[in-house]
Structures are given as structure tokens and as C-alpha cells.
Amino acid sequence: MVISMGKSSPHSTVELRKINRNRVFHYLYHAAEPLTKQELAYRLSMSLPTLTQNLTELIGMGLVDNSETAGSNGGRKPRILSVVPRARWALGVEISSQHIRLAALDLQVHELGFRVINLPFHTGEEYSVRLSQTIECFIDELGLDRSRLLGVGISIPGIVDNGQRYVTAAPTLGVRKLDVHCIAEHIPYPVCLVNDANAGGFAECWERTGSVQHMAYLSVSRGVGGAILTSGTAYLGTNGRSGEFGHMCIHPGGAPCSCGRRGCLEAYCSTARLSDDIGVTLEGFFQALSRGDAAYSALWARYLDDLAVGIANIYAALDCEIVLGGKLSRFMDENFDALDQRLRRLDPFYQEKPYLSICRYYDHSNCIGAALYFVAQFIQQI
């Protein structure tokens, strides 16, 4: 399924009614607290009859609730209006070489459940059958209503074509080209395929709606990737390869990279440099680092030097807030200052306020972002 966020040019009465209905829903969706009809009419500058008509439709669709009443100084208590978060929900599935992660989200991006399942990736039919079974078990465990499921967003660690039908160049999965049908043929719901970093970036950008217009997302896990988001949507590039920050060269002729070249950011800042290469887990590395292990401290300092060069280059090119995500992010809150100091030294224009921040959803972000594509599409068309 191709997710299109394009704008139409409505002229008919039906379209105008839909625009008004969407305005009412969006206002309630983003409101910090439930509102009375009078408050809503005032804030939207909408007549009470028009608002009543729209609310009747939204309540009839099960998307808005008016069963609660507000406190009153006397007389009849006014009803308060709020969005029904569970009116619809979406599922996000992150596929990686050894695991799948699943997250269910309601309309207001509350996480309804999250699981990590061991399921090594392969391209045979057995995998797509297991994937479908895992999804159905997850839905049953959470007791969610399948008739309210908007769709399943699948996050893939590879380049997804702009038609969201093929995966190309997914080295961590050992895939050169793969049709979405091979993965999703047994999933009986609408499916959308999305690059993992674009999904993670979309989730983080959504979380910052209203405060950030443009954003770069740098995902640092075994693979290093990223996304560029402008006005809330991913800029995909001509070939769907934008934001491949992991393959920016930071040391010409340097260490070999999974892409076949040398000196890429991923070759220096894959989390494998802090785990597999020295025979420990990432958690083990940071535990030893916090105990003051001298060898690990030296390795960490070199790692941060390289990571800072990569981040500073992204900032020099894009001049926007950068959010650091991926598996590394869980360990960065306590190490933020060490990285930020390096960024300040690398950038003569560095403002007082840091341009780098750590992601909010950590290792859930790819799943959440994949599910969010369906949520975003749904609330856009109400």
C-alpha cells in the first residue's frame, strides 16, 4: 500500500463538510484536555449548528465521545468532548536479521503492547507464515479488535523503493531485491513497507509535532542509517536512499564497510565496535565503562570522536535539529555531554541550545513509526 499524504483541492459541498469534520476532529485530537461544545465552537470560530452536525457524524463514527459531563456552577452540566483513542489501532512490525519486534498503537499513539520475538529472517515462505502467525498471536494476547485494525506497517533495514513494494540492498538481511509479497502474503490486513530509519524518524518527528518543522534522524545500531523529515514527512530522495548517513565517508581509505567501500561512518560507529568486536554485549560495554575501565574509556572516546564528526557533517549539510536513535540511544542520556562537547568544538556556529537530542521511543521507534503511517493516513482522511 502506498501512503499518500497529498492534498486535494476540494470544491464540492461534500468536500467542504469533510474539511469541517476534519477540523473538528483534529482540534479535539491535539487538544490538551477535553472540551465542551461551546468552547470548541469558540476556538474553531464555527457556528453551533455546523459544529453539532459535525459532532453528530464523528460520534456516529465512534471517533468522538460525549458521554462525560463537566463540573458546573449550577444548572445543567455541559457534556465534554474527547477523541476515542481506541476507535482504531495500527500495528508496527520491525524485521531484523534475528528478531521481530511488534508494537500496537491506538489513534493517540499510546502503545497498547510491545513484544520482541526471536525469528531469524529468511526469504522462504515459512518465514512469511511464521510472521503472520506471530502477528495473530500478538493480537490475541492483547485482546484487540481486528475490525478496528487500520493496517500493519513493516519496518525493514533496507532501501525501500518509492512505491513501497520492493526492498533493495538490505545487507543485514542478506537481501538484494525482495518483493513485499514474499514477506506479507499471509497477512490478511493492509500492509505498508517502510525503511527502518524512516519509520523511526517519523515516530520521533510526530512526537515533536508543533515544536520542530525539519529534523534529521540518525539511527545507530549495528547498522547506521537515518532519515530526513521536512514538515513532518520523510524526504525519500530520487531513489529512496536519502539519509543514508552511515555511508558518509569520515576517514578516506579507512576501515572497510559493509557497503564495500572504506571509511564510512558505519564502519566506525556500528554498535558492533562496542560489542561484537570486543566480545561483550552493548549493555556489558556500558556497565564496564561506568565502572571506569580504562581500555573501554579510550575506545569510547575514539568512538565519540568519530560519531561527532558524522553528526557535525549532517548538521553542516541540513542545519536542523538532529535526533539520535537506534540501539545506542538507550545509553546516551548519561553520555550526552561528552558528545555535545565534541559537537561544539566541531561547529564554529554552535548556538547555546544543543541541536542534538536523544530519541524518546528508543528501540520501539521503528515499530511505532511503521504503525504511525496508518494512523497518520487515517486521521488525515476523516
Binding site for Zn ion (CB under 5 A): 247, 257, 259, 264
The CB-of-247 to Zn ion minimum distance in angstroms stands at 4
The CB-of-172 to Zn ion minimum distance in angstroms stands at 13
The CB-of-224 to Zn ion minimum distance in angstroms stands at 9
* Residue placing its CB nearer to Zn ion in the complex, 3 or 255: 255
* Residue placing its CB nearer to Zn ion in the complex, 260 or 348: 260
* Residue placing its CB nearer to Zn ion in the complex, 259 or 278: 259
- Burial pattern 7-25, b for ≥16 Cβ within 10 A else e, equals eeeeeeeeeeebebbbebb
DSSP letter string, 11-54: -SHHHHHHHHHHHHHHHHHH-SS-EEHHHHHHHHT--HHHHHHH
* Residue placing its CB nearer to Zn ion in the complex, 215 or 264: 264
The CB-of-223 to Zn ion minimum distance in angstroms stands at 10
What's the CA gap between 219 and 325, in Å, rounded? Answer: 5
The CB-of-249 to Zn ion minimum distance in angstroms stands at 8
Residue with cell 477535553: 34
* Residue placing its CB nearer to Zn ion in the complex, 92 or 240: 240
Angle subtended at Cα 355 by Cα 351 and Cα 356, rounded to the nearest 5 degrees: 140
The CB-of-51 to Zn ion minimum distance in angstroms stands at 55
Radius of gyration of the chain (CA): 23
For the record, the C-alpha cell of 15 comes out as 468536500
* Residue placing its CB nearer to Zn ion in the complex, 84 or 248: 248
H helix intervals, 13-170:
13-30, 37-44, 48-60, 125-142
